[in-house]
Structure 1
Amino acid sequence: MPPPYTPTRAPGTWDVIVVGAGPAGATAARVAAAQGCETLLLERASIPRYKTCGGGLVGASLAALPPGLPLKVHDTAGRFTFALNGTKTRTLTCSSPVCAMVYRSELDAALTEVAAAAGAEVRDGTALTALEERDGTVTVRTNSGDTLRARAVVGADGSASRVARYVGVECAQVDLALEAEVPVDPRTAERWRGRVLMEWGPLPGSFGWVFPKGEVCTAGVVAARGNPVALRAYKEDFLARHGLLGPRPLHDTGHLTRCRRPDSPLSRGRVLVAGDAAALVDHWSREGISYALRSGDLAGRAAALVVAAGDEAEANAAAAHYGRQVDDVLGAEMRASGSLMRLFTRRPGLVHTALTRLPPAWRRLDAYIAGRTSVAGIMTTPVARTAAALADRLP
């Protein structure tokens, strides 16, 4: 529903400024604009831009996309191969293949185009350099020397977010992911077509993945930040074992993923954070696109309510309500994934055996991939609760 009234903005003042044109930011801008807010979407890079990301859209992500989004899907995974550090390999088939393989550059550009179609103004090549709030107005300064003002700001500027620092986002888990996009020959492309690899790695809480995208495979590894030498060695070994080390990669990059503390703030005054900027990422799988899309939608609606507020108390109430909404849904999923991550870190072999040898465990994960349940739904099963409780007691 639109806000109770449409405010008249002062000259040079926007209703909503969104910082970052990824899934969270583009969604927040689209939703705020659709609510009647004069919305400006800032992106520091030129659109389309490369983004380090596996690019696998699970059911929750697909369900959160705007209807009719013009997006090219390069493959759809119907089979998942699981391995334990290169051993005990087993491939399982999804009951309803939905996991879509996309490039983030294409996804983000498509979402930004839809935001613009909804009425948001998009300015790429424009980075935020500072922001402050005073007397019901947020002032944003950019690298081009502009000073912009807004009634509300949504920070969706990634894991290295300036807006997150302003809000005071705190993290419980920080990981380093190393990724390469590797061109493959037709035989290799056919070998991977429709199949994702998830290999539990040698470092605590680590895994490697291969996502097929036709003539390219996106492959990488992730583990807790703090041992980059060992992680690079794992990446080299992982790519070599799967025949992906020889070709010169199109991209070979790394990035940090951050998971928020349960009590971490999601707003400060009229400034909200969403997606990676809010450190909304699954602890175990490090999946963040579904969190970005869903939190972006909530942030866009909340920003519209902040703009429509009659006074600061009402604006603060709208921002606080956004935090409760995120915590009720996404926070619950993160708490569940945190329990799964503790179990996986302590007993990766147990998790692997459960997924590959116990049909009910695979059916639950299959349902999660398809969007029929959440990690919280998985972790409420008696077996999962017992295993998680046991893991919490292990050294």
Structure 2
Amino acid sequence: MSSENEDRSNEDPSDETVWDVVVVGAGPAGASAAYAAAVTGRRVLLLEKAELPRYKTCGGGIIGPSRDALPPGFELPLRDRVHAVTFSLNGKLARTRRSKQTLFGLINRPEFDQALVESAQQAGAVLRTGATVSRVEQHGSSVPDRRTVAVVLSDDEVVLARSVVGADGSASRIGAHVGVKLDQVDLGLEAEIPVPATVAEDWAGRVLIDWGPMPGSYGWVFPKGDSLTVGVISARGEGGATKRYLEDFIARLGLAGFEPSISSGHLTRCRADDSPLSRGRVMVCGDAAGLLEPWTREGISFALRSGRLAGEWAVRVAEAHDAVDARRQALNYAFAIKAGLGVEMGVGRRMLAIFERRPGVVHAVLTGFRPAWNAFAKITRGTTTLAEIVRTYPAARRALGALDRPKQAPRAEPELEPQKP
């Protein structure tokens, strides 16, 4: 790292006239974009409305693709390493599958996000917290020339940039400017529950995934030392049912007697296939772009990977001398996203459609068919992706096609007593 970049991380943002790249939002996507742009030696400003560290509603699972997208030398602040997964079908038919190798890691988002921001600062990015962005302007009196974007803060201060990356979450103001379109919105509810050492020991190294009572819903328990992250997710519009599912889920697990330290909720949003990823010199990534896996709603790996790409292409946009070249570079960013993450999202949508109609079949396959479990383990470790499996193995492609057909007459299933996970 150059001494110039090290000195730049301590500069007063007000001393700068026009930044090469301004990144809005300091979550995993924004911090990754800021890092990717800053390591090239460009002048990068990272804006965050909150003070860091701050809590984010998130399970905190770090799968292989997330790990592989981290900055070189980044040390994950892991709270646990997962070697076993218990699957259940709305509290029934619980079965635990184990692995000798670590499947994935678990983190607390405040620690993880803070460490990512520090990596971006070490690369040369300047962090400014307490800065709420109200809008961006690419034309008008605030914009001195066609190569500049005006980022307008809530107090009407104007920050100028050659390119802007929007990573300001699922309710993104930058996404609204770009015109991001959504085709799936889900509600996630979560509780951080401190537990005694005896309970924590029972969960150490093991997570629970419970396929829920509403179509497409599921719950999870992620252990993190002396606390458990317990959450559920389902389609938006099922708020009351989702809340009841979480309450029943916690009670069924025997955790109702422990007071949560945090209870929170958030909406996850998936982009439509034809949704734009840029407008002029402004690009979006992560949740702001609606990039996440539609079935599991896993978003950290999508945030890290899309943020890195956005930061790299933002540098090229900043260097563009006219609108045509800027547009070309932004389209290259969109192509890179669609060729990678877009393909994964397409398969994820098909899996969600299958899961919504046939959760029992999905449960039976994962718990009773070893190749399916092995595929799950490889995906979580990052040695393959669901899209790669479908593309590579004809049998997987045929099975996905067969399950994706409309369900015929439903079968009555025997009522079973809930099993303790």
Q: TM-score normalized by structure 1?
A: 0.95
Shift of 1:66: 1.2
Shift of 1:67: 2.2
Q: How does 1:42-81 map to 2 (within 5 A)?
A: 42-81=47-86
Shift of 1:387: 3.6
Deviations 1:225-265 (A, max 9, x none): 01101111111000111122221111100000111111111
1:118 to 2:123 alignment: yes
**How far apart are the structure 2 equivalents of 1:114 and 1:291?**
19
Shift of 1:69: 1.9
Identify which of 197, 201, 217 aligns with 1:206. Answer: 217
Instruction: Assess if the C-alpha contact under 8 Å between 1:152 and 1:307 holds in 2.
Output: yes
Q: Which runs of 5+ in 2 are unaligned?
A: 1-14, 140-145, 408-421
Identify which of 380, 386, 393 aligns with 2:398. Answer: 386
Identity of aligned residues (%): 50
1:370 to 2:381 alignment: yes
Shift of 1:392: 3.7
Q: Mean Cα displacement is larger for which, 42-51 or 240-249?
A: 240-249
Shift of 1:37: 1.4
Amino acid aligned to 1:76 = R
Secondary structure of 1:294's partner?
Answer: helix
**How far apart are the structure 1 equivalents of 2:195 and 2:82?**
17
Instruction: Assess if the C-alpha contact under 8 Å between 2:137 and 2:152 holds in 1.
Output: no
Instruction: Assess if the C-alpha contact under 8 Å between 2:147 and 2:321 holds in 1.
Output: no
**How far apart are the structure 2 equivalents of 1:67 and 1:213?**
25
CA RMSD after TM alignment: 1.3
Secondary structure of 2:169's partner?
Answer: coil
Corresponding residue for 2:183? Answer: 172
Quick one: structure 1 residues 240 and 378, their matched pair in 2 at CA, closer, same or farther if it must change by over 3 Å?
farther
Shift of 1:389: 2.3
**How far apart are the structure 2 equivalents of 1:119 and 1:373?**
33
Shift of 1:146: 1.5
Deviations 1:280-326 (A, max 9, x none): 11011110000100001100000000111122211110000000000
Deviations 1:76-116 (A, max 9, x none): 00101101111111111124214111011111100000101
Q: Mean Cα displacement is larger for which, 133-142 or 13-22?
A: 133-142
Corresponding residue for 2:251? Answer: 240
Quick one: structure 1 residues 382 and 84, their matched pair in 2 at CA, closer, same or farther if it must change by over 3 Å?
farther
Instruction: Assess if the C-alpha contact under 8 Å between 2:136 and 2:152 holds in 1.
Output: yes
Q: Which runs of 5+ in 1 are unaligned?
A: 1-9
1:295 to 2:300 alignment: no
Amino acid aligned to 2:193 = V
Identify which of 4, 10, 13 aligns with 2:18. Answer: 13
Identify which of 13, 38, 43 aligns with 2:43. Answer: 38
Corresponding residue for 1:154? Answer: 165
Identify which of 139, 152, 159 aligns with 1:141. Answer: 152
Corresponding residue for 1:85? Answer: 90
Corresponding residue for 2:11? Answer: none
Shift of 1:391: 4.0
**How far apart are the structure 2 equivalents of 1:29 and 1:320?**
20
Q: Mean Cα displacement is larger for which, 376-385 or 96-105?
A: 376-385
**How far apart are the structure 2 equivalents of 1:208 and 1:142?**
38
Shift of 1:145: 3.3
**How far apart are the structure 1 equivalents of 2:292 and 2:318?**
28
Shift of 1:11: 5.9
**How far apart are the structure 1 equivalents of 2:188 and 2:64?**
23
Instruction: Assess if the C-alpha contact under 8 Å between 1:340 and 1:379 holds in 2.
Output: no
Secondary structure of 1:379's partner?
Answer: helix
Q: Mean Cα displacement is larger for which, 123-132 or 134-143?
A: 134-143
Amino acid aligned to 1:74 = R
1:107 to 2:119 alignment: no
**How far apart are the structure 2 equivalents of 1:367 and 1:98?**
8
Radius of gyration: which is bigger? 2
